[in-house]
Structure 1
Amino acid sequence: MITLKDVKKVFSSKSGLVTAVDGINLEINKGEIFGVIGYSGAGKSTLIRMFNQLEKPTEGSIMVAGRDMAKISGRELRVARQETGMIFQHFNLLWSRTVRDNIAFPLEISGVRKAEQRKRVDELIELVGLKGRELAYPSELSGGQKQRVGIARALANNPKVLLCDEATSALDPQTTDSILDLLVDINERLGLTIILITHEMHVIRKICHRVAVMENGRVVEQGDVLSVFKNPKEEITRRFVGQLTEPEDTQETAEHLLEKFPNGKVIQLTFVGEETEQPLITNVIRNFDITVNILQGKISHLQTGSYGTLFVHVDGPDTEINKVIDYIRSQAVDVEVISNG
């Protein structure tokens, strides 16, 4: 569906040349939700804007639905942009137009007849959950409602691809979840390919099938979300995953327990898929001569399965603790000793 080969973007500035995107190679499948995550300055916004030629690459090719976006212009580019909808962090609505007229705007530009416009706008209002708000102006809408208008407008011309540029960053957590649920629904109903950039791992965790991690203009790690959660290879990826799996006070709690039980060990257990549902700790307590203190734990439900982490302190003879670790590993659960007494 989408292939990027050796994509590079260099800007000129007063201090010289700045490489914002540096040699990106990606394959994005038809119908998947693909996430790009990185901190500010990583190059992710520049990257997504090259998908519809809001930014033109300095080098490389960007194939979207059979077209090289780096090489087209004029009418062909206008058609390609109709097939690539985009939603933005700050909504970019027309403030003098109602909800209905905002959604109709791209249809007007495309020369769609009035009767067809009305029919399509009605369908989209129903799809994004804005029935009853058709005649409201953007100033009368909540942040979530504004973004729903933005999504409906982006879908007006039946695009094949939907680009989301930090689409939930201006929203509160509850509204963010409702917008993410809407995107999943759209993906499943329409078979739409969605490319979503963010700096929030919660967004990736909740809806993405695969993810690419960007740093300093490069993709440093990519893969399906479950694999990246389970085995993050780069330090930046571990930091993102840690936002969801490692409570801030875990280390403090571990140090306190190690002072109290100097011969114990603090271990981190990582569960994936069905392993998140087994009574592992109960079995350990029943079958081994050790004491167990649960420090912190969390299970995250991803698009492709479940992922959980559990931090525990185990105390007892070293030989027995080692048996426990071996037993846990035999249950297809990863074990890492993060602190020793």
Structure 2
Amino acid sequence: MIELKQLTKTFDVGKTTLTAVDDVNLTIADGEIFGIIGYSGAGKSTLIRILNGLEKPTSGTVDINGQKITDIKGAELRKARQKVSMIFQHFNLLWSRTVQENIEFPLEIAGVPKAKRVEKVKELVELVGLAGREHAYPSQLSGGQKQRVGIARALANDPEVLLCDEATSALDPETTDAILDLLVDINKRLGLTIVLITHEMHVIRKICHRVAVMEGGKVVELGDVLEIFQTPKQEITKRFVAQVTESEDSSETIKHLRELYPTGELVKLVFVGEQAEQPILTQLIRKHPVEINIVQGKVSHTQRGAYGTLILQLKGTDAEIRQALEFLNQENVQAEVMAND
């Protein structure tokens, strides 16, 4: 388990003091994929550097599986950091070394004998899907393959925690999804705790169990990913959620839909978890005399379940539409009339 208590990091910039991390308190469970999201300058990169001992906090503590990383130094810190590995946005590979030699590098530093290094590399190459590329150099690899080497290298010392610093930001969307799928697979196979920082809500939605939203060095919102998608509270969180759910709530979209469907009411439904799999509309049609037209909708999947939105055109009397909305809300489906500003 990872515990951050009253963590603060300040930097002196000229005559002013910059607070990069401001009184952060977090608990991350063993085997969890935990996301930290924020825009540039939010403090997330500094936070993750504190987690692996690259930065010392100004105050507060970091406890990883019972060991206070913030209280140790020298050889003891170097040993502890072998259990907290990291992968980076730009891969940080050794360009003069082959795939095998890159993965071997941390094992060399740790003094592992050659025979055991070769055996471990073979195992890791299979795990990350690079079999047959062991003798290639980084310049001969695609971006996704380079990141797979980075992941294999990070796993070489059998870490307990894997930190991901914007690990997919330099990749195209298809390659990003493949790397995220690999991280989920590693998490399930090895029971590895993964902490990742990103500015992309798609990454959070796809693989994280919980997420902390950072702004101005503070954690301004924290919760289960599915809950955050369902009911984001802070404005910054709503902007991040809009990266994935964008468009249906914009005034331009509502105006366009109203032009296409000028009668009745446009109603947005939000389905979360098991609700996304239930025949709610069938029940609605059977129980209420309203005319239903499906306008648009989509379902997104998170590690905790599905999150879906659906826009309907409901036709009927005011009383019939009101009763239909009450039925949906009783079924724990968020239903609201989309106002045309």
TM-score band by shorter chain is over 0.9
In 2: Cα distance, 1:259 partner to 1:153 partner: 56
Aligned equivalent of 1:63: 63
The Cα offsets for residues 129-177 of structure 1, whole Å up to 9 and x where unpaired, read as 1111001100000000000000000011111100000000101111111
Check the 8 A contact 1:257/1:313 in 2, yes or no: no
Residues 75-154 of structure 1: matches in 2 within 5 Å? 75-154=75-154
The Cα offsets for residues 308-327 of structure 1, whole Å up to 9 and x where unpaired, read as 11122323321111011011
Check the 8 A contact 1:138/1:146 in 2, yes or no: yes
Check the 8 A contact 1:100/1:135 in 2, yes or no: yes
In 1: Cα distance, 2:259 partner to 2:173 partner: 37
Aligned pair count reads 341
Check the 8 A contact 1:250/1:295 in 2, yes or no: no
Residues 132 and 336 of structure 1, relative CA distance in 2, 3 Å threshold? same
Aligned equivalent of 2:162: 162
Check the 8 A contact 2:36/2:213 in 1, yes or no: yes
Answer with 288-297 or 120-129: which moved more: 288-297
Check the 8 A contact 2:6/2:61 in 1, yes or no: yes
In 1: Cα distance, 2:289 partner to 2:252 partner: 26
Answer with 292-301 or 254-263: which moved more: 254-263
CA RMSD after TM alignment: 1.8
Q: How far apart are 1:290 and its partner, in Å?
A: 3.4
The Cα offsets for residues 38-60 of structure 1, whole Å up to 9 and x where unpaired, read as 11111111101101111111110
Runs of at least 5 residues in structure 2 that lack an aligned partner in the other structure: none
Runs of at least 5 residues in structure 1 that lack an aligned partner in the other structure: none
1:206 aligns with 2:206: yes
1:284 aligns with 2:268: no
Check the 8 A contact 1:104/1:156 in 2, yes or no: yes
- Give, as a single letter, the amino acid of the residue that structure 2 aligns with 1:327: F
The Cα offsets for residues 17-64 of structure 1, whole Å up to 9 and x where unpaired, read as 111110100000011111111111111111011011111111100001
- Give, as a single letter, the amino acid of the residue that structure 2 aligns with 1:303: Q
Secondary structure of the residue aligned to 2:268 is strand
Secondary structure of the residue aligned to 1:167 is coil
1:256 aligns with 2:259: no
1:23 aligns with 2:23: yes
Check the 8 A contact 2:247/2:253 in 1, yes or no: no
**Could you state the TM-score of these two structures normalised by the residue count of structure 1?**
0.95
Residues 254 and 295 of structure 1, relative CA distance in 2, 3 Å threshold? farther
- Give, as a single letter, the amino acid of the residue that structure 2 aligns with 1:254: I
Aligned equivalent of 2:333: 333
Check the 8 A contact 2:254/2:340 in 1, yes or no: no
Aligned equivalent of 2:234: 234
Q: How far apart are 1:262 and its partner, in Å?
A: 5.8
- Give, as a single letter, the amino acid of the residue that structure 1 aligns with 2:43: G
Q: How far apart are 1:256 and its partner, in Å?
A: 3.4
In 1: Cα distance, 2:85 partner to 2:16 partner: 33
Check the 8 A contact 2:36/2:212 in 1, yes or no: yes
Secondary structure of the residue aligned to 1:228 is helix
**Could you state the TM-score of these two structures normalised by the residue count of structure 2?**
0.95
Check the 8 A contact 1:265/1:339 in 2, yes or no: no
Secondary structure of the residue aligned to 1:47 is helix
- Give, as a single letter, the amino acid of the residue that structure 2 aligns with 1:65: N
Q: How far apart are 1:79 and its partner, in Å?
A: 0.7
- Give, as a single letter, the amino acid of the residue that structure 1 aligns with 2:197: I
In 1: Cα distance, 2:329 partner to 2:133 partner: 55
In 2: Cα distance, 1:132 partner to 1:340 partner: 58
Aligned equivalent of 1:190: 190
Answer with 6-15 or 54-63: which moved more: 6-15
Q: How far apart are 1:192 and its partner, in Å?
A: 0.7
Check the 8 A contact 1:270/1:334 in 2, yes or no: yes
Aligned equivalent of 2:2: 2
In 2: Cα distance, 1:220 partner to 1:286 partner: 43
Residues 179 and 87 of structure 1, relative CA distance in 2, 3 Å threshold? same
